[in-house]
Amino acid sequence: MNLDLAKKLVAHSEGLELDLRVLEQNEVLLDSVSAGVLNLNKLQIPHETEPFTITLPASSQHRKPSSKD
Amino acid sequence: MRKSELAHQPITVLRELFRDGSFEPEDLLDCLLENIRRYESKIHAYLHMVPEHTLREQARDASKELKNFGSRPLTGIFMAIKDNTYVSGLPCTAGSKILEGYIPLKDATAVSRLREQGAVFLGKTNLDEFAAFGIATNNPHFGRTFNPWNLGRIPGGSSGGSAAAVSAGEAVAATGSDTGGSVRIPASFCNLVGLKPTFGRISRSGTITMSWTLDHFGVIARTVRDASVLYEAMSGKDASDSSTLNSPELERSAFADDPPDLFGIKLGIFSNPIRASDDGVMSCFDESVRVLSEAGARIRSIELPDVEHITPAIFAIALSEVAAYHEEWFRTRREDYADTLRGYVQLGHTILATEYLKAQRARATIVERVSRKLAEVDVLLVPTNPSVAPELNQEFVEIRGKRYPAFQVLTENTYPFNLLGLPAMTIPNGFSNGLPVGLQLVCSHWKEDLLFKVGDCYQQLTDYHKKTPAVPL
């Protein structure tokens, strides 16, 4: 999320009361994470790839969708 | 050997001394308590201590066990436990105000397994608040820990209390948790062995979470053999931590006492780490490569794929999971957090769910690609830290004429292996400007026995790990 979007979140963060100053002070970090995540598209993640979960896959082969799904 | 030297002996040596009757666990405890009396006011490694009369009773029981019943692998071995891990009946604050006064009624799984093997616990060690985003063990609520090698330097973090305690002879070994380097960084800065095993090898149940998918349980010890003993004691499936359920059978390490060699072993020099190291660290690293090569290992450079994507992926995941874990406390006890963690929790709330999931899918892809490349060698070598321990309030580290934020630069060689879930171990690798330098060994998932083989060989060929700090009184 970039800072502009984060500002909108702050406006709706009832209960959490996010502090806009903290987000502004960390704008460089926020922007670099946001840009870096966008840049992950360059990895060309295979469409069948599932998110890494709490359990490390037993093999490096990703499960592909089957007729049972 | 003099009794006063017991506190700096490895577990493997202590076991022999106990077995042949040279010394008893009570002698070891005398020695550890003497060091705690002398040094603790200087280094502040512990947050909570077990009462002395309880420890003496446990030492007597251990001595009786050794005399009467034979012994378990860790009988009479006094350890320290990082204060984010449950030890029944002892406080567990995780270095936070939020959990101040909390006393768990059960042991963490790893602690329970150590106890079953005979280990005794001296107390709980200092850490950064909730072990989150800290490399200095400068705890905002309970004070900072100082590096026994130089009291003007940080011990590393977040398991800095554990490393400082072992380094100063205030414990034989210690536990830690490692989400981005929190075992390996302090072990390296304090001239110790620090092991972060494969994700899922040691249960995290009973350890306060920082990040569900990045946290690893680890150990800090004097030698590779000690790390192996503790690793074997704590490893195994645990229904209360699903990350362990796919773990394969443990390969137990057998260490040879013959002159060591590494013939047939392929070592890779990690040629494209995120950050280059400074000259002092590289000089130690180059020397270690020479020693390992002379021992018979075949050495080659190896470039890992997708390194440039590791930093954004791990930040998106770590920030999101920290924010999610702390959400309820953040709503109700916001003022009880120190500024640093309060800031990170807020940043985590700005990561979108789609960004988090993309990072976790990218991670799965990177794990697969790196694993394929890493299979070309047995063990990968890289400096544990690009520089030695910074001064206490040093915010920037200079490397090759450029200044970088200390937190950033000191974690860049360690956190990739949390994202990848790969086993990684730091071992003492000499000194730069009088401060310890670490060599990090990394291998494929579940192949910790290779780390132990190469690391043990290196420790038989060098004596860096035998050096201990002279803590100023």
Does residue B274 lie within any of the structural domains? yes
Q: What is the domain-level CATH number for residue B137?
A: 3.90.1300.10
Does residue B332 lie within any of the structural domains? yes
Does residue A56 lie within any of the structural domains? no
| Cβ-nearest to A23 among B245, B312, B346 | B346
Please determine, for residue A64, whether its predicted confidence score (pLDDT) is greater than 50: no
Does residue B400 lie within any of the structural domains? yes
Does residue A8 lie within any of the structural domains? yes
Distance CA B207, CA B216 (A): 10
Does residue B472 lie within any of the structural domains? no
Does residue A59 lie within any of the structural domains? no
Distance CA B374, CA B12 (A): 31
Task: Name the token pair of B247.
Answer: 């773990």
Nearest to B108 by CA among B136, B79, B65: B79
What residues of chain A lie within 8 A of the CB of B324, using their CB?
none
Does residue A23 lie within any of the structural domains? yes
Segments forming the whole domain that contains residue A21: 3-43
Query: Does A39 contact B312 at a Cβ distance shorter than 8 Å?
Result: yes
CA distance A67 to chain B (A): 22
Does residue B388 lie within any of the structural domains? yes
Q: Give the model's pLDDT for residue A61.
A: 38
Segments forming the whole domain that contains residue B446: 3-466
Q: Which residues contact B322 (CB under 8 A, 6 or more apart)?
A: B132, B133, B210, B211, B341, B344, B345, B348
Does residue B473 lie within any of the structural domains? no
Does residue A53 lie within any of the structural domains? no
As annotated, the active-site residues of B are: 82, 158, 182
**8-state DSSP, B338:** -
Q: Which residues contact B100 (CB under 8 A, 6 or more apart)?
A: B91, B93, B141
Reported ipTM: the value is: 0.81
Task: Count CB pairs under 8 A between chains A and B.
Answer: 119
Query: Does A5 contact B213 at a Cβ distance shorter than 8 Å?
Result: no
Does residue B471 lie within any of the structural domains? no
CA distances from B145 to B41, B56, B253 (A): 10, 26, 34
Does residue A51 lie within any of the structural domains? no
Partner residues linked to B221 by β-bridges: B193
Q: Based on the number of CB atoms within 10 Å of its own CB, is A49 exposed (0-12), middle (13-18) or buried (19 or more)?
A: middle
Q: Give the model's pLDDT for residue B259.
A: 76
Does residue B404 lie within any of the structural domains? yes
Strands B120-125 and B78-82 turn out to be parallel
Q: Which residues contact B28 (CB under 8 A, 6 or more apart)?
A: B6, B7, B14, B59, B76, B78, B172
Residuewise pLDDT in 10s, chain B (473 residues): 999 999 999 999 999 999 999 999 999 999 999 999 999 999 999 999 999 999 999 999 999 999 987 779 999 999 999 999 999 999 999 999 999 999 999 999 999 999 999 999 999 999 999 999 999 999 999 999 999 999 999 999 999 999 999 999 999 999 999 999 999 999 999 999 999 999 999 999 999 999 999 999 999 999 999 999 999 999 999 999 999 998 999 888 888 777 789 999 999 999 999 989 999 999 999 999 999 999 999 999 999 999 999 999 999 999 999 999 999 999 999 999 999 999 999 999 999 999 999 999 999 999 999 999 999 999 999 999 999 999 999 999 999 999 999 999 999 999 999 999 999 999 999 999 999 999 999 999 999 999 999 999 999 999 999 999 998 77
Does residue A65 lie within any of the structural domains? no
**Residue in the structure block whose two tokens are 């990848």:** B420
| Cβ-nearest to A49 among B343, B347, B361 | B361
What are the DSSP calls for B28-85, one per residue? Answer: HHHHHHHHHHHHHHHH--EEEE--HHHHHHHHHHHHHHHHHT---TTTT-EEEEETTB
Q: How many domains does chain A have?
A: 1
**CB-based contact, A36 to chain B, within 8 Å:** yes
CA distance A59 to chain B (A): 9
What residues of chain A lie within 8 A of the CB of B372, using their CB?
60
Q: How many domains does chain B have?
A: 1
Q: Give the model's pLDDT for residue B151.
A: 97
Half-sphere exposure of B30 (CA within 13 A, CB side): 11
CA distance A69 to chain B (A): 19
Residue of A nearest to B363 (CA): A52
Full-model pTM: 0.95
Distance CA B264, CA B440 (A): 20
